[in-house]
Structures are given as structure tokens and as C-alpha cells.
Structure 1
């Protein structure tokens, strides 16, 4: 079957680490009993990163204004990293593995040809959360790192991405999210301090919060 024209014009990343991709998807084939659970996790698992950011915000209510500024900056940092990754994805236009390696084993369904592979959006969110939480709470950041490794592996396991799509997502997301968090953490405490004295105080501070 001839690939659609849009696919033929897109970048084929199978020459980079297609053999490793095939080894991992062969493992998925050998563990078919786990396919449904992994496919469910690879999408729903993103909720874990949202919960970690919520935990950071909840804890920051008892801390000083810089901590709250960092907590509020976390989702902004993740969204910023995701937007940057999506721009790069359109520029690179790497075709999904299911088009380049159609005879491999795939758990996930093949997306539209215009839904490109590099970098992995799921992994971008996961690894951006690590960086976004790093200045706020190292423990939460470490937990995010553990789940991010799992998330990245599952993206290859289900056949949605090559390993380099996952690694590339981390390389892009970590510095973008960290710098965004650092910038907002340094510039926003004054605004947060003012908001803490107004109607939003219950959301931003407890009665015993540090100044």
C-alpha cells in the first residue's frame, strides 16, 4: 500500500533508532496480556503530573509568597514547554512509526498523517513537570521523575513514538520549563503577596502562612 503524499514528504525517523523501537514493540507483543493496562496508563497517567502540581500548590498555601509563586508557575511552565514542543513538532514533521514501520507490532492505533511524532507530547508534559516542581519541592520533582520514566517508556511500548522522540521531548521540556518556573518564581512574589491579602487569600494562603 502506498503511503499518503503527506506521509511521503514527512521526515522518516526510523533510521535513527528503528531497531530499538522494534525491540520494544516486540516486547509489547510478548506481553500482550499487559497491553490494555499500559495503553490506559499512557494517557490517564498524565493525571498524576496534574495531581503533583496540585499537591505543590496545596503545600505552598502554608509557605511564603515565593513558594506560592513557584506553585502557580508550575502549570504555566508545563504549558509553555508543551507549546514550544508542538512548534518544533510541526517544523520537524517526523512521520509516526506506524507509517514507517507498518509491519511492527502496535498497541496504539495509527493517528492521522499530520499528527507527527517528534517530540513526544506526553513525555513533554511529564518531564516539564519535573523541572516545574524542582524549585518548589524536590521530593515532588523526584516523584514526577519516576513517573516520567514510566510515561516515556509506555509511549514507545504502545508504538506511538520512537525512543528519540521521548529523549528529545525531555531535552526540550526540562530547560524550557525550568527557566519559565525560575523567571516567574523571581518576578511574581510581589503580585502573589498582594493577591494573598484579597479575595483569593483562601486559595493562596492559610491563616498561618509565612510572609
Structure 2
């Protein structure tokens, strides 16, 4: 499938035009920032889970594990959608070839954006578990989405769909499974404590 007109294609062309004249090193830096942003979001979520483990907070630990699981599930679904939709990358479909980033090879489909799906999945988990991190997590996820368009790898509608997919599946996973997962962790003996001790339960939004 090729998308050559409509609001998304026009916004894509405008975004690529906005990067004209940008030095090549800036494009290299933007490409490097894409996995870097995902790594940062992943580290923040890992630290949240580690903090829950140290404080014997069953809800925080269970929430972090569920957020990772929900994000991976969203990524898997995004890959499945790519195979079904077969949307050509905009750097080939629109005829715009002068992009900041290298155009992915043929067969590497565009819809939806995997990077954006992962970013918003991780960010949603962080927001649900530690709302005070929203001011950091959400801008990082938005920066990831924007970078995919500016690099020329995705249409705007690709990243919008990825954001909805990552956020929706991760939120549903955490909110629906947090009570049983917390109860399961509470039943496990805590390391270094007397037999029968358990993780305490605190609100994940604390």
C-alpha cells in the first residue's frame, strides 16, 4: 500500500522540508537519539521496579513487570499489523528521498511505528506507576515519535497509531492484571526475612 496524498502525506512532506539544510551530523545525532530515548525510558521503568523490590512494594514491582509485558505485547501486535497492512515507507512512496535518516529497505513496512509503540508503552507504564514522572516520560515518548517523522522513516499517522497501540495495551495490561499480580507476589516469601514474610502493598501512584 502506498500513501501519496492526504493530511498525513502532506505533514510528512512539510516535516522533511523543515529539515532541509540541516547538517549531516545533526541527522546522525537524531538517528542515535531514537534508540537512546527508548533506552532511557526502559531504564526509568527498570529503576521503578528495582525501587519496588528494595522497598518490598509488591504493587510497584508487579506494575513494572506488567508494564514491560504490556509494552512487548504492543510491539508484537505492531509487527503483526505491519505484515497485514504492507504500507510502503514514505521515503519511497512520496518520492521524497532527501531525508535526514536512511530509508529502511523494501519490505520493512511503515505502519505502525514500532519505535513509537515501544516509547509510549514504556511511558504509559511509568505514568501509571509514578505519575510524577509524567513530566519526563511523556515528552521523551513524544520526542521519539517526532524523530521518526523528521528522520523520514514514518508518516505522522504511523506514529499516532503506534502511540495509541503502545499506550492502550500497556494501560490495559497494568490496570487489569495489577491486583492479581500483586496478590501473587505477596504470597512469595521475601528474601532475607523470616519464612512467611511477604512484600507489602503500596499504591503504585505513591
Query: Same-fold call, TM > 0.5?
Result: yes
Instruction: Name the residue aligned to 2:119.
Output: 126
Q: Which secondary structure state, in structure 2, belongs to the residue aligned with residue 160 of structure 1?
A: coil
The answer on 1:13 being equivalent to 2:27 is no
- 2:54 matched to 1:64? no
* Runs ≥4 residues deviating over 3 A: none
TM-score norm. by structure 2 comes to: 0.85
SS of the aligned residue for 2:5 comes to helix
The answer for the alignment partner of 1:101 in structure 2 is: 94
Q: CA deviation at 1:115?
A: 0.7
Distance 1:101 1:83, change over 3 A: same
Paired residue for 2:173?
180
The gaps in structure 2 that reach 5 residues or longer are: 202-206
Cα separation, 2, equivalents of 1:165 and 1:70:
28
| Distance in 1 of aligned mates of 2:135 and 2:107 | 34
Q: Distance in 2 between matches of 1:37 and 1:91?
A: 32
Aligned CA-pair RMSD:
2.1
- How far did 1:100 drift? 0.8
Aligned to 1:51: 43
State the 1:171 CA deviation. Answer: 1.7
Structure 1 residue aligned with 2:132:
139
Compute the displacement of 1:63 (Å). 5.1
Asked if structure 2 preserves the Cα contact closer than 8 Å seen for 1:25 and 1:104, the reply is no
Question: Given the alignment of the two structures, is residue 30 of structure 1 paired with residue 15 of structure 2, yes or no?
Answer: no
Greater Cα offset, 142-151 or 132-141: 132-141
CA-to-aligned-CA distance 1:127-158 (integer Å, 9 cap, x gap)? 11122223211123442111011111100111
